[in-house]
Structure 1
Amino acid sequence: MDGHFIDPTPETLADEHLCCIIRSKKPHPGAEAKRRWLADRLQEGHVFRKLQAKATVFIEYAPLETAWVPIEGDNYLYLYCLWVDSAHKGQGYGRALMEHCLADARAQGRSGACMLGAEKQKSWSSDQSFAGRYGFRAVDATPQGYRLLAHAFDGTVPRFAESAKRGTIEEERLTIYYDAQCPYVWQSLQTVRKYCEAQGVPFVLIEVDTLEEAKALPCVFNDYAVFYHGRFETVNLLDTAYLKRILKK
């Protein structure tokens, strides 16, 4: 396996591209929003480890106590995302990143690591079958078909907050909760705004901008969640086709 991994710091972050959206001469609003969000999170123990190359090869995780997800539990790491693009698969990068995360958890004296999963593999989520090869197993579930996967070192397990299992809100309009962690969130929100405004579809966009708000969300959440007619729909980022399917319900 060729290549070298680096862990950007708040001081070096401004000089690094963020993998998902390769930096060009013109700043990308989504990438710059993530850069600001990440600079604050790195000071809380958040880890963003990436291949030192212009490639989408990285892992992102944080102490569960400060992870912006409605998941509870003591002494765990939460794995937000592990992504190796197709051009770099088969070179051992995914294995190296996962092993680094688990080794870091053990070095910190953690009880294990956990991540969001689902009954069926979702887009924009880490590969569940790959995680399964490293000991991740379902330890909790929501009525909407999402699972909490954990690799437990000591027999203790995390759990979804009760609010996350509710999956309903009073608002009937198309409602999207989001934060700035994923650069593609900005693009999806622009798509939603453009389509809904053109079609006269009422919608609400709610930015989740504190840990407390994230921990109390009424659904599973990795950085994005969609409701329609008061019912939770998905954590997948919406494109126009997916948005149209939801609005037909």
Structure 2
Amino acid sequence: MNKHFINLTIENIEKEHLCCAISDKKHQMGVITKKNWLKERIIEGHIFRKLDEKGKVFIEYAPLESAWVPIYGDNYLYIYCLWVSGSFKGKGYAKSLIEYCINDAKEKGKSGICILSSKKKKPYLSDKKFLLKYGFDTVDTIKNDYELLALSFDGKKPYFSEKAKEMKINNKELTIYYSLQCPYILNCINQVEEYCNKKNIPLNIISIDTLEKAKNLPCIFNNWAVFYNGKYETNYLMNETFLKKMFQL
């Protein structure tokens, strides 16, 4: 079993693939924008660590102070994503990645690590049961559903912003907050815009392109958050089929 992992750096990022979007041509522009986003984040201490194989096996985390999420805390690391998929499951890769992050946090003198999860398994969120095995605890919640899990080394605890806990906006139109951190986003934006234009559906798309905007989001998801009639609906990446089904538009 190959357990060789690579951390993306300014020097190797152009030649390395992003394992969350490897070969699908419709997402290649998203890959380019993601790499450009990463180049700016790496100098802030952002880590993207992946298995040196063509598979979706990686962890992505950053200092909480510079993490594009509406979460606050002193001297923490925030895990954006921990993903092991397909035939790579059951080989200890998730264990290797989370332990690397934990050791990295300790070596850097951090107060702990935090990550978004939920009481019941949801799309794009790490499994709470897996994290509990490593000592993570629930330190904050939203609507008795989404949870902020933290592994604290010194008793300090991170927390959601009060605005993020609202999970609502004043705008009644179909509204999407998005960032370019995820390589799948651009294609989704194109599909949603095309469908809404075709059906004359009012659409409000808001780009989260600065840390300040990310820290002041009206919900907990920085990459993709969908609101309708002022209420948060989903962080599921939408296409025309999903729009028809969920909003009956």
Q: TM-score, normalised by structure 2?
A: 0.94
Aligned position for 2:219: 219
Aligned position for 2:17: 17
Partners of 1:237 and 1:25 lie apart in 2 by 17
Partners of 2:219 and 2:136 lie apart in 1 by 22
Partners of 2:110 and 2:239 lie apart in 1 by 38
Is the Cα–Cα contact under 8 Å of residues 177 and 222 in structure 2 kept in the other structure?
A: no
Q: Secondary structure at the match of 2:38?
A: helix
Q: CA deviation at 1:27?
A: 7.5
- 1:63-93 superposed Cα distances (whole Å, 9 cap, x missing partner): 0000000001101100000111111111111
Amino acid paired to 1:48: F
Is the Cα–Cα contact under 8 Å of residues 144 and 167 in structure 1 kept in the other structure?
A: no
Aligned position for 2:8: 8
Identity of aligned residues (%): 50
Aligned position for 1:111: 111
- 25 and 165 in structure 1: CA distance in 2 versus 1, 3 angstrom threshold: closer
Q: CA deviation at 1:26?
A: 8.7
- Structure 1: which 5+ runs fail to align? none
Aligned position for 2:99: 99
Partners of 1:138 and 1:101 lie apart in 2 by 19
Q: CA deviation at 1:49?
A: 0.3
- 128 and 188 in structure 1: CA distance in 2 versus 1, 3 angstrom threshold: farther
- Structure 2: which 5+ runs fail to align? none
Is the Cα–Cα contact under 8 Å of residues 121 and 127 in structure 2 kept in the other structure?
A: yes
Alignment of 1:130-149 (within 5 A): 130-143=130-143, 145-149=145-149
- 1:138-160 superposed Cα distances (whole Å, 9 cap, x missing partner): 11011273111111111111000
Partners of 2:166 and 2:220 lie apart in 1 by 9
Does 131-140 or 21-30 show the bigger shift? 21-30
Partners of 1:77 and 1:26 lie apart in 2 by 32
Is the Cα–Cα contact under 8 Å of residues 220 and 235 in structure 1 kept in the other structure?
A: no
Does 22-31 or 62-71 show the bigger shift? 22-31
For the aligned residues, what is the CA RMSD?
1.8
Amino acid paired to 1:22: I
Partners of 1:25 and 1:172 lie apart in 2 by 34
- 1:81-136 superposed Cα distances (whole Å, 9 cap, x missing partner): 01111111111111000000011111111111111112321112222221122122
Is the Cα–Cα contact under 8 Å of residues 122 and 236 in structure 1 kept in the other structure?
A: no
Is the Cα–Cα contact under 8 Å of residues 138 and 149 in structure 2 kept in the other structure?
A: yes
Does 17-26 or 145-154 show the bigger shift? 17-26
Aligned position for 2:50: 50
Partners of 2:7 and 2:86 lie apart in 1 by 22
Amino acid paired to 1:83: W
Does 74-83 or 195-204 show the bigger shift? 195-204
Aligned position for 1:63: 63
Does 130-139 or 40-49 show the bigger shift? 130-139
Partners of 1:109 and 1:36 lie apart in 2 by 29
Alignment of 1:193-204 (within 5 A): 193-204=193-204
Partners of 1:26 and 1:189 lie apart in 2 by 12
Does 213-222 or 63-72 show the bigger shift? 213-222
Does 237-246 or 107-116 show the bigger shift? 237-246
Amino acid paired to 2:30: G
Aligned position for 1:228: 228
Aligned position for 1:188: 188
Aligned: 1:210 with 2:210:
yes
Q: Secondary structure at the match of 2:59?
A: strand
Aligned position for 2:76: 76
Amino acid paired to 1:128: K
Is the Cα–Cα contact under 8 Å of residues 62 and 78 in structure 1 kept in the other structure?
A: yes
Partners of 2:239 and 2:23 lie apart in 1 by 22
- 241 and 137 in structure 1: CA distance in 2 versus 1, 3 angstrom threshold: farther
- 1:218-243 superposed Cα distances (whole Å, 9 cap, x missing partner): 11114111111111112222233432
Does 70-79 or 135-144 show the bigger shift? 135-144
